[in-house]
Structure 1
Amino acid sequence: MKIKLTAFAVALPLALTTLTGCDMTENESDDVTSAGTSTSSDAADAVEGISSGIYDLIGVKGKASDSRSGVEECEGKDRDTYFKIFHPWSFYPASASDLDDAMRNLRERLPEHGWKIVQYGPDTSKNRNIVLIADNDERKAGVHIAQMAKNDPPKLSVDVVSGCYKVPDGQKVEHF
């Protein structure tokens, strides 16, 4: 997988801050929803499964970048007990002209699969990338998708992030 470090460095904190603070709030804190109890590995598999479901909703031919998920701390919580999972990836349509169709499909199909779109429209960057931010309360996850039409090659930048998990009693968070 090839991710430009600057784009990743900008997109990930935005995604982590924005996605987990929307309508998913439950008992754990005022900012991040509880995603339940899990090991880091099992939670990572679940988040990658969510990413796979989003990929299926794109509905145009193309290729996804090869990426793995990672572990992030839950702000204000013990880093050995609580964690979030993030999974950044990109989608490159077979044809640049399919990029608009891919984003339109996501905007239409995500709500049909339990996602609530909380933001849609151009960002404040020079390129005015179209951004879609959605939360899935049932899956305890959020997604930040940016349509980067002016990139070479054009792509969708996708960041999926979980709510805050707690490891099972007697275990510690595996950081990767």
Structure 2
Amino acid sequence: MTDNKSEGVPSAGTSTSREASDAMEKISSGIYDLIGVKGKASDNRPGVMDCSDKDTETHFRIFHPWSFYPTSASDLEVAMERLKTELPKNGWKIVDYGPDTSKNKNITLTADNNEKKAGIKITQRSKNDPPKLSLDVVSGCYKIPDGQEIERF
């Protein structure tokens, strides 16, 4: 699910964009449950994007960016450590973990879930006010059912 050019984006099957969006929200909700500390999630909705190298009339991906704000700033690191431990127990394979190249050296975790045909990138933004986790969940490439049109949102 990550941008590994050698593997490409896996197929996620056939679905309408609305059904795929609902599935992505369930994936994000499951990740939220793994955080395990008190806090609040942003109320962002999933969106539709194109699959590279595929017909934009018949193929699409779903992306769902959202943020988690712990009640206590000290819980931010606890939340990230829990995700690092709990994601692999729940079908996710961590493919990258460590500081990013920004001046803040934010800790970033990237993981793929082959069963769910989804990937996630989580960035621990300790220096933000308020501190937060930024989560970007993205699906594999869906094909729209015959006779249907991709709903863009």
TM-score (ref. length: structure 1): 0.84
* Structure 2: distance between partners of 1:97 and 1:76: 43
Of the candidates 28, 32, 52, which is equivalent to residue 55 of structure 1? Answer: 32
Query: Does residue 130 of structure 2 align to residue 153 of structure 1?
Result: yes
Deviation at 1:76, TM superposition (A): 1.3
Letter in 2 for 1:50: I
Residue correspondence of structure 1 range 1-16 to structure 2 within 5 A:
none
* Structure 1: distance between partners of 2:95 and 2:54: 26
Query: Does residue 121 of structure 2 align to residue 144 of structure 1?
Result: yes
Deviation at 1:21, TM superposition (A): 3.7
- Gapped runs of 5+ residues in structure 1? 1-18
Contact 1:20 1:162 in 2 (8 A): no
What SS does the corresponding residue of 2:108 show, helix, strand or coil? strand
Of the candidates 103, 107, 117, which is equivalent to residue 94 of structure 2? Answer: 117
Q: Matched residues, percent identical?
A: 68
Residue correspondence of structure 1 range 128-143 to structure 2 within 5 A:
128-143=105-120
* Structure 2: distance between partners of 1:92 and 1:20: 25
In terms of fraction of residues, the more strand-rich structure is 2
- Gapped runs of 5+ residues in structure 2? none
Residue correspondence of structure 1 range 1-176 to structure 2 within 5 A:
19-22=1-4, 30-176=7-153
* Structure 1: distance between partners of 2:126 and 2:114: 29
Deviation at 1:138, TM superposition (A): 0.2
Deviation at 1:110, TM superposition (A): 0.1
* Structure 1: distance between partners of 2:53 and 2:120: 22
Q: What CA RMSD, in Å, does the superposition of the two structures yield over aligned residues?
A: 1.3
TM-score (ref. length: structure 2): 0.97
Cα deviations by residue, 1:37-77 (Å, 9 ceiling, x for unpaired) = 00000000000100000000000000000110000000111
Letter in 1 for 2:12: A
* Structure 2: distance between partners of 1:122 and 1:63: 24
Q: Please identify runs of 4+ aligned residues in structure 1 that moved more than 2 A.
A: 19-22
Deviation at 1:97, TM superposition (A): 0.3
